[in-house]
Structure 1
Amino acid sequence: MRIRQLSGTNHVFPGANHTRFEHSLGVAALAQRLMRNMRDLHNVELTTDDINDCIVGSLLHDLGHGPFSHNFESVLVEQGKDHEDFTDWIIKDSELGDTLSDLSFEKDYIAHIATGKMQERAYTKGSLLSQVITSAVNVDSMDYLLRDNYHCGTKGRPVDVDRLLISIDEVDEGFLGVDISALIALEGFLLSRISSFRTIYFHKTCRAVQLMLAEGFKTLNRELGLLKFKTPDDYTKWDDYTLWTELINHPQSKILMNKIKRRELLKLCFETRIEMSEFNLQEQKLKNALSEASGIAVADIYIDLPSSPNVPYNHISQTRPNEIYAFKRLSNGEKKPVKLEDYSLFFNQFKGHLRLIRIYTWTAFREILQKTAIRLLKDEKIQFYLV
């Protein structure tokens, strides 16, 4: 309850103060509806225990998010971890795990459902339950798209959740697929995700606040060893409030925190879209080049690489669980795999990542860095900084 869903976003959208807790409740509620639909409408063999396992996994799926939510991931990634690693750890090795065991749940099984690890194994009932939360069309995304747009006050694209929940069914080899009769609802879901990333998650000012917070985290981590967790309790003691208190009291990070409080935020001075699916940006090399060409200190140059989740897709029978699998229900009840592009007028536009390179600096340096970035990165020159 003390970790907000959208770190930094309330600096642009004041209503965006909702928390991970309410999102998790929403995901669990949608998971329950979907599981019951599959059992009662599509005759999928699901027991009461299966449904309860999926509900609990849904309720706990974001348990490992640190303070400031996805923003804290920038620190975890440097240690080769992500929030799902901590979700797994908390469920298995904390008091919560003992409580789950007391309630007759298998905590390792719940952890694997919640984090998608079941999809890495043979296609079992657990794999099917995990897909409800972690596949390309999942209840997690359905909830956050509706919830985030509501709290931000952005209309976004409508998501027909009711139609999607009815259209999802088990298909060959234990995959979850979407009935092609719900194509309009599926397209609406994908459009909403693209719209939300461009309007909310990639908003230049939201990202500016997140960049400053991330720099504060890294400073604190270097000084205090923020990630030296011996027990799950060492990790869960950190939330938005406790970490903010540390940040504003630390001699170095408080400089950035005071700037956030006074709204003296980083300013965007360059942006370009780029396909980077097979490349990584040499961030330090680019910073050094910009610094040398502009005379601005490296420490005052910030590079942001926002990237939306891709829309993995394959129509063949060997579709992996994280890909969109579409089928057509025949009159005899058979579920025949179909190609989405044969039905959708613009599905191909959904595939791939939306990737950006953005360069930020402080107001005083904005104009000169803007001119420098345009000169260094226009046209094919940006390829020099990709590996």
Structure 2
Amino acid sequence: MSSENTRKYVFDEIHGYIVLDPLMRDLVDTPPVQRLRRVKQLSQAWYVFPGAVHTRFSHSLGVMKLAEKITDKLINDGILSKDDRDLLRCAALLHDVGHTPYSHALEYVFYSSYGINHEELSYMMINEEPHIREVLSNYGLSSNEVAKIVTGTHEEPAFNNLLNGDLDVDRLDYLPRDALHTGVRYGLIDLERIIQTITLDDEGYVAVHPKAVHAVESFYVSRLHMYRSVYYHKTITGYQLLLAAIYEMILAEREVKSFLEPFTSLEGIRKSVREGSICAWDDFLIGGVLNVVLAKKLGSEILRELIKSYVNRRGYKTFYNHISFKLEQGITPSEMDKLNRISKALLARGVNAYTFRTYTESVPIISSEKEVRVLSNAKSVKISELEDSIIKSLPRYMEIVRIYALPALEEVIKDLI
């Protein structure tokens, strides 16, 4: 970073120079935002794409930059007011501040244990973390308003849709950013065309002019390809599940659990948020604990075996992988029956539950409620309702059914499948 008077400049690989005014500078300098430098954007994607080591920090800066550009356009168009600008920029910068270490890999553990996801953790941090609260208060901004925009619960629908819609500033940044760092070209989108034509309809939904329809169609298709090629890549998902299994085991083993305290319970996490010490909960902490367990031979033998499998890239293999595209959401009963049957058979044979995982996911491709609108004859219509749009031909859901296990279980698994 270099400074000029009260502004700072950050060079970003996607957006070029990003200018930080005093508000953004002070918010970026808080420990919770700096923590995002130490949380990988794509968790275990670097096991498959070695260049995918970018962080939530660079993504958050990019989302803030896009929010700034789009908000300024909407202000110039008379749709938003200048008072909205700082709220939306702060929400954009802080939208991922509640991500667990390794992003979505460990979020599963906390959601299954405590029913809380990263959006709700972000809400907690924006409202209760002292460094963030102080900066927002110093600039006359409401922490609660910013937090509600992040979680999509603000009273103003336009705010929610700009940060939580199908075509929001979050997706407009992570698709090209993740494509660049993985080397997968499917995520490239016509960002400038979308920004030039983006607007809001009378109900606060994100809309574009007809001349940008092709750019939006390309966005939807790119996102579908990135889901298949990166975000739900079978090997990447396997290492996310393996790390989650390791974390679950650590929480269950007293000898090593203490290394992760206070981040072993919702109460402990909330306490660290209120005390301003949440910044220690990052990828480095988790990686360090795994190394300590191996170096000092702590915990159970199966825990150390799983950690060795993880760090040496000898993790879960995919023994069953079924992907289908549907108009209606839902894994078929026959697929669920297969997973349940195999799980019960493995446990009946004495196989440790942590050495295999069953996995199902229903991934929304197009959200009917959040779908991009297109301005047409003084009104807006969903893009899928346009007669000549390719969006109506796209599936609404990608259904994934998989069975993962350590390589040593190959013969047993194949026999059951």
Q: What is the aligned partner in structure 2 of residue 93 from structure 1?
A: 128
| 8 Å Cα contact 2:358/2:403 also seen in 1 | yes
**Secondary structure of 1:277's match?**
coil
Q: Which moved more, 1:336-345 or 1:224-233?
A: 336-345
Partner of 1:317: none
Higher strand share: 2
Count how many residue pairs are aligned between Structure 1 and Structure 2: 354
1:206 aligns with 2:236: yes
Give the secondary structure class of the aligned counterpart of 1:147: helix
State the alpha-carbon separation in 1 of the partners of residues 70 and 59 from structure 2. 17
Verify the 8 A CA contact 1:220 1:247 in the aligned structure 2: no
Equivalent residue number for residue 197 of structure 1: 227
Offset of residue 299 of structure 1: 3.8
Q: Does 1:3 align with 2:39?
A: yes
**Does 2:372 align with 1:324?**
yes
Distance in 2 separating the partners of 1:31 and 1:158: 19
Q: How does 1:138-217 map to 2 (within 5 A)?
A: 138-217=168-247
Q: Report the Cα distance in structure 2 between the residues aligned to 1:143 and 1:349, rounded to whole angstroms.
A: 25
Residue of structure 1 aligned with 2:290, choices 236, 247, 267: 247
What is the aligned partner in structure 2 of residue 381 from structure 1? Answer: none
CA separation of 1:234 and 1:353: change in aligned 2, threshold 3 A: farther
**1:294–1:368 contact (8 Å) kept in structure 2:** no
- Tell me the TM-score normalised to structure 1 length: 0.84
* Cα pair 1:183 1:344 within 8 Å, conserved: no
Deviation at 1:370, TM superposition (A): 2.7
Aligned amino acid, residue 151 of structure 2: T
Contact persistence 2:74–2:199 (CA under 8 A): yes
Counterparts of 1:299 and 1:262, CA distance in 2: 17
Q: Distance in 1 between matches of 2:281 and 2:88?
A: 27
Alignment of 1:334-345 (within 5 A): 334-337=378-381, 340-345=384-389
Deviations 1:56-76 (A, max 9, x none): 110000000010011111112
1:109 is aligned to 2:145: yes
Shift of the 336–355 alpha-carbon distance from structure 1 to 2, 3 Å rule, reads: closer
C-alpha distance in 1 between matches for 2:170 and 2:133: 22
Compared CA separation, residues 137 and 25, structure 1 to 2 (3 A): same
Q: Per-residue CA shift, 1:88-121, capped at 9, x if unaligned? A: 1111111211221012111111111122121xx4
| 1:183–1:221 distance in 2 versus 1, CA, 3 Å | same
Which among 39, 42, 47 is matched to residue 81 of structure 2?
47
8 Å contact kept, 1:266–1:362: yes
- Given that 1:248 and 1:258 are in contact with CA atoms closer than 8 Å, whether structure 2 keeps it comes out as no
1:256 to 2:311 alignment: no
| 1:76 equivalent in alignment to 2:110 | yes
Whether the aligned pair in 1 keeps the contact of 2:39 and 2:55 (CA below 8 Å) is yes
Seen in structure 2, the aligned counterparts of structure 1 residues 110 and 292 have a Cα distance that, compared at 3 Å, is: closer
Change (3 A) 1:128 1:289: same
Distance, in Å, in 2 between the alignment partners of 1:338 and 1:17 is 36
Shift of residue 179, structure 1, vs aligned partner: 2.6
> Which of 363, 372, 389 is matched with 1:308 structurally?
363
| Range 211-220 or range 304-313, more displaced | 304-313
Aligned to 2:4: none
Q: What's the offset of the Cα at 1:284?
A: 7.9
Query: Residues of 2 paired with 1:240 and 1:282: CA distance?
Result: 36
Gapped runs of 5+ residues in structure 1?
Answer: 314-319, 374-387
Q: Does 1:266 align with 2:266?
A: no
Match of 2:70 among 21, 34, 50: 34
Q: Secondary structure at the match of 1:114?
A: helix
Q: TM-score, normalised by structure 2?
A: 0.78
Contact 2:53 2:181 in 1 (8 A): yes
Q: Choose from 352, 355, 359 the match for 2:399.
A: 355
AA partner of residue 300 (structure 1):
T
In structure 2, give the amino acid aligned to 1:309. P
1:17 matches 2:61: no
2:383·2:391 contact (CA, 8 Å) conserved in 1? no
Q: Distance in 2 between matches of 1:242 and 1:283?
A: 38
The worse-fitting range, judged by mean Cα deviation, of 210-219 and 344-353 is: 344-353
> Counterpart of 1:289 in 2: which secondary structure?
helix
Match of residue 413, structure 2, among 359, 369, 375: 369
> Where in structure 2 are there 5+ consecutive unaligned residues?
1-36, 294-298
Q: What root-mean-square deviation, in Å, do the aligned CA atoms of Structure 1 and Structure 2 show?
A: 2.4
Q: Which moved more, 1:220-229 or 1:351-360?
A: 220-229
Kindly, what percent of the aligned residue pairs are identical? 27
268-277 or 154-163, larger mean C-alpha shift: 268-277
1:31 alignment partner AA = A
By how many angstroms is 1:211 displaced? 1.2
Is the CA contact 2:179–2:187 (under 8 Å) kept in the aligned structure 1? no
- One-letter amino acid of the structure 1 residue matched with residue 222 of structure 2: S
